[in-house]
Amino acid sequence: MLARVAENIYWLSRYLERAENTVRLVDVHSRMLLDLPDVADHVGWIPLISINALDEEFAKNNGIASEQNVCDFMIADNENTGSLHNTFVAIQNNLRSCRDIVPRTSYEAINSACLFVRKKVSKAAMTPGQRSELLGDVRSRLLAISGEINSSMFHDEGYRFMRLGCDIERADMTSRIIDVQSAWLTLGDGGSGLENIAFQQQRWLSVLHTLSAVQMYRQHVRTPINGEDTLRFLLHDSKLPRSYRFCIEHLDNTLAQFNQHEKPRAAIVQLREQLLAADLAELAQTPIELHRFIDALQQSLQTVSSAIAQTYFLPPQET
């Protein structure tokens, strides 16, 4: 497979996963806030911006983080590089360059989703109901695409690059969602009052919700929802599809199938050690430590993705 095309197909997959994450975040977050009528609009909505590290970009054109502002920004804003709209623009651009590799039926599914988003997403204010319907539609399309690719694409290098892109993006998103939670938890009064415990529980519950993991937590962890167990479930569990460990082990398995894989796999070994060495009880108690830990994980993941780029993709063009 051509190195240039491999890079396009890898990014196509990353953006598809990113679109799904954005849909999931906005949707789950809106629903969660319905349970917290007392939280001020701004305090409630700003985490969506922070998860995606878009605080600066948001501040450029927006004042307060109202529901309307944040949702427009995350869904429709064509100046926000991370908006759903622009994610689909990136999907379409990458799709162009690997059109000859993607199965025709998958191409049509992805292309139709791009046309759908372009047509439906506008800056015109959406009611929460309309928004939820739109996000649901986009999500079904993305799931259909993922199924379509899995069942019709030849499971060779091209498919493996899609897997790599998807797992990296997924691991990254799981860590971001936990990270924002650490920022939230510092907002608590730090006391051990009942109110604070309830508040903390609510926060961790929302993290689990965002990652579609509540039901699985209840079935497999069984303890009342708390910080340490939630962190263990989301970071260390080896069967939960969005847990950090699951993603990087998957990543490693995929890499093992390539002819050349030493550099990126060496980077994963390091990342894995770092992940498993964490004292989760301690991290659950000290939000600032949790933030530092997640930060370090993200840097190591970045090392993995650079190693992938150096090993397989076309070197940047000399100018």
Partner 1 sequence: MRNRWSDYQSPGFDELIQADGQARPFAHKVASWLNDLSPEDLSSREHAAQLAIAQMGITFTVYSDKGNIDREWPLDIIPRVIDANEWREIEKGLKQRLQALNMFIHDLYNDQAILNDNIVPRQLIETSSNFRPECIGMNPPHQVWAHICGSDLVRGEDGTVYVLEDNLRVPSGVSYMIENREVMKRALPEVFRQSHILPVDTYPSDLRATLSSLTDVKNPTIGVLTPGVFNSAYFEHSYLAQQMGAELVEGRDLVVDSDGYVNMLTVDGPQPIHVIYRRVDDEFIDPECFNENSTLGVKGLMKAWRDGKVAIANAPGAGVADDKVVYSYVPDIIRYYLNEEPLLQNVPTYRCENTEEREHVLNNLDSLVVKPANESGGYGMLIGPMSTPEEQADMAKNIKDNPRNYIGQPTLTLSTAPTLCDDTFKARHIDLRPFVLQGESIKVTTGGLTRVALREGSLIVNSSQGGGSKDTWVVEFDHPSMSQSQSQTQSSVVESDQPDLEPVQTPPPASSKE
What are the residues binding partner 1 (CB under 8 A)?
1-6, 93, 96-97, 99-101, 104, 107-108, 111-112, 115, 157, 258-260, 311-314, 317
Q: How far is the CB of 143 from partner 1 (least distance, A)?
A: 18
Q: At its nearest, how many Å lie between partner 1 and the CB of residue 308? A: 10
Q: Is 128 exposed, middle or buried (0-12, 13-18, 19+ CB in 10 A)?
A: middle
Burial 167-176, CB ≥16 within 10 A → b, else e:
bbbbbbbbbb
Judged by CB, which is closer to partner 1: 257, or 285?
257
Residues in the chain: 319
Judged by CB, which is closer to partner 1: 153, or 205?
Answer: 153
Q: For residues 215 and 310, which CB has a smaller minimum distance to partner 1 in the complex?
A: 310
In whole angstroms, the minimum distance from the beta carbon of 189 to partner 1 comes to 53
Nearer to partner 1, 4 or 218 (CB): 4
Structural contact between residues 177 and 211, judged by C-beta atoms closer than 8 angstroms: yes
Decide if 146 contacts 176 (C-beta within 8 A): no
Q: Which residues contact 225 (CB under 8 A, 6 or more apart)?
A: 201, 204, 205, 208, 217
Q: What is the DSSP letter of 258?
A: S
CA dist., res. 163 & res. 247, Å (int)? 10
The CB-of-162 to partner 1 minimum distance in angstroms stands at 13
Q: How far is the CB of 95 from partner 1 (least distance, A)?
A: 8
Report DSSP state, residue 37. Answer: T
Nearer to partner 1 (CB atom), residue 78 or residue 186: 78
- Dihedral sign of CA atoms 230, 28, 75, 242 in order: positive
Structure-block tokens of residue 32: 């969660």
Residue closer to partner 1 by CB (options 6, 75) is 6
Instruction: State in angstroms the smallest separation of the CB of 105 from partner 1.
Output: 10
Nearest-approach distance from CB 266 to partner 1, in angstroms? 18
Angstrom CA distances, 102 to 49, 77, 148, 248, stand at: 33, 29, 11, 25
Residue whose CB is less far from partner 1, 162 or 275: 162
**Rounded to the nearest whole angstrom, what is the least distance from the CB of residue 290 to partner 1 in the complex?**
37
Q: Which is nearer to partner 1, 261 or 291 (CB)?
A: 261
Tokens representing residue 233 in the block: 């479930």
Of 124, 173, 131, nearest to 34 by C-alpha is 131
